[in-house]
């Protein structure tokens, strides 16, 4: 029995029956898939080979480092079914590399790209029946890396679990096809020189309160600003981009997550669609058409990019109580970029970047 198998209480989490799933009504979460995959590394940092086991709770000690000191990070990927029925994974190497960078910062053992790839592919294969039909959604893949060794000292765990779980999902932003957001001026998501660039579990819980307050006021999400309140950072779950005069402006900052969707959208824009891209810190005034940008007016289009969000167009941005309307209909740039991105991800369009892995 592998170390991973001995930590999972297989069978304690009962999968949703396939017959109970309405593929036309997928939300974001709620359906349980039958299998999880994973591996455990001890103090030598070497992971054993991947085991795939029946879904179940994981037993970890009360003094597990991840529970007490937040030594945990995760990834997000999607397996899409194409119209040809085949299942495709997107940019596994980029996700593996991002997890490895985060692991180094958090002093966790990092799975090699090969082990990461195997874990993702084997877990998706085992849950293949739960990959939604083409056009209905995707199988969201959630790899997790956590320090599970006991430690009262705030010091790195001697044991790391690498775990892959999956959930069929529809759209992250439900309801309208465009989203309405509020600029957050009371809370910041990440510190300068902090760990906002890591997909660390601890970056998400602090966003719950301001995000749920914004949702109570009727907004779909929040746009966080940088530490000086002058530049756009990101949403708590996706990156930010806008279009002005045909140019794609993609917000960059050292304290945001370097999104793989963001990078893919920039490459599609530059290399396939001949769109000029400005990838730099993005002034809030430029987005809203304020101060030195007052003559220009607000962005022609704005959208979030992310694995869960895909490309989510923004209809209006509320800043200090004032609404800035960016359009009632999804703009042509967001439409085209989404079509090409999803086209590559589902095999409807060629994959000139070699981003896709087909699961046989």
- Nearer to ligand COI by C-beta: 40 or 265? 265
Site residues, ligand PLP (CB under 6 A): 76, 234, 236-239, 257, 259-262, 305-307
CB of 63 to ligand COI, least distance (A): 27
- Contacts (CB under 6 A) with ligand COI, residues 51-110: 76
Binding site partner of 223, from ligand COI, ligand PLP, none, Cβ cut-off 5-8 A by kind: none
When asked if residue 306 is in the footprint of ligand COI (CB under 6 A), the reply is: yes
> Which residues have a Cβ under 8 Å from the Cβ of 86 and sit 6 or more positions away?
347, 358, 359
When asked if residue 132 is in the footprint of ligand COI (CB under 6 A), the reply is: no
Tokens of 114: 């090969």
- What mask of x and - would describe binding to ligand COI in positions 250 to 289, judged by CB under 6 A? ----------------------------------------
Dihedral sign (CA 147, 152, 154, 155): negative
CB of 331 to ligand PLP, least distance (A): 20
When asked if residue 147 is in the footprint of ligand COI (CB under 6 A), the reply is: no
CA nearest to 357, candidates 77, 90, 84, 85: 90
CB of 304 to ligand COI, least distance (A): 10
Tokens of 143: 């790899």
Query: Which listed residue (78, 118, 182, 199) is catalytic?
Result: 199
Residue whose token pair is 């209809």 = 315
Residue whose token pair is 């409807």 = 348
When asked if residue 315 is in the footprint of ligand COI (CB under 6 A), the reply is: no
C-alpha span between 350 and 271 (Å, rounded): 13
Q: Cα dist. 293→230, 252, 299 in Å? A: 13, 19, 10
Q: Name the burial class of residue 47, with classes exposed (0-12), middle (13-18) and buried (19+) by CB atoms within 10 angstroms of its CB.
A: buried
Residue 199 is among the residues annotated as catalytic for this protein: yes
CA nearest to 11, candidates 35, 39, 29, 38: 35
When asked if residue 312 is in the footprint of ligand COI (CB under 6 A), the reply is: no
- Nearer to ligand COI by C-beta: 134 or 204? 204
Binding site partner of 37, from ligand COI, ligand PLP, none, Cβ cut-off 5-8 A by kind: none
CB of 306 to ligand COI, least distance (A): 4
CB of 15 to ligand PLP, least distance (A): 25
- Nearer to ligand COI by C-beta: 203 or 316? 203
Q: Cα dist. 223→77, 201, 333 in Å? A: 22, 19, 21
Binding site partner of 222, from ligand PLP, ligand COI, none, Cβ cut-off 5-8 A by kind: none
C-alpha span between 269 and 273 (Å, rounded): 5
Tokens of 315: 């209809």
- Contacts (CB under 6 A) with ligand COI, residues 166-195: 172
Indicate the SS3 state at residue 123: helix
Which residues lie near ligand COI (CB under 6 A)?
A: 76, 172, 237, 306-308
Supply the residues annotated as catalytic: 199
């Amino acid at each position: 029995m592998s170390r991973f198998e001995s930590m999972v209480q297989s069978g304690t989490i009962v999968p949703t029956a396939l017959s109970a799933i309405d593929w036309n009504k997928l939300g974001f979460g709620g359906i349980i898939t039958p299998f999880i995959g994973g591996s455990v590394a001890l103090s030598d940092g070497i992971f054993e080979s991947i085991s795939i086991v029946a879904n179940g709770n994981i037993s970890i000690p009360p003094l597990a480092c991840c529970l007490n000191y937040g030594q945990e990070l995760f990834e997000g990927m999607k397996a899409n079914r194409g119209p040809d029925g085949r299942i495709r994974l997107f940019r596994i190497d980029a996700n593996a590399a991002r997890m490895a960078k985060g692991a180094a910062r958090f002093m966790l053992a990092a799975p090699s790209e090969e082990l990461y790839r195997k874990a993702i592919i084997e877990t998706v294969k085992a849950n293949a029946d739960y990959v939604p039909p083409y056009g209905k959604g995707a199988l969201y893949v959630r790899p997790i890396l956590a320090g599970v060794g006991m430690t009262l000292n705030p010091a790195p765990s001697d044991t790391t679990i690498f775990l892959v779980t999956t959930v069929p999902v529809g759209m992250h932003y439900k309801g309208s096809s465009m989203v309405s957001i509020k600029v957050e001026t009371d809370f910041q998501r990440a510190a300068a020189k902090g760990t906002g660039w890591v997909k660390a579990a601890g970056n998400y819980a602090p966003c719950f309160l301001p995000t749920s307050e914004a949702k109570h006021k009727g907004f779909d999400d929040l746009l966080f600003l940088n530490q000086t309140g002058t530049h756009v950072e990101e949403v708590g779950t996706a990156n930010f981009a806008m279009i002005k005069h045909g140019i794609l402006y993609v917000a960059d900052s050292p304290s945001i997550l370097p999104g793989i969707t963001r990078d893919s959208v920039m490459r599609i824009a530059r290399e396939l669609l001949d769109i000029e891209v400005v990838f730099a810190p993005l002034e809030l005034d430029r987005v809203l058409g304020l101060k030195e940008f007052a003559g220009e007016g607000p962005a022609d289009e704005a959208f979030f990019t992310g694995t869960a969000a895909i490309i989510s167009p923004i209809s209006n941005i509320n800043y200090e109580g004032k609404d800035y309307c960016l359009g009632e209909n999804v703009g042509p740039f967001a439409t085209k970029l989404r079509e090409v991105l999803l086209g590559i991800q589902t095999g409807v369009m060629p994959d000139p970047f070699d981003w896709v892995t087909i699961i046989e």
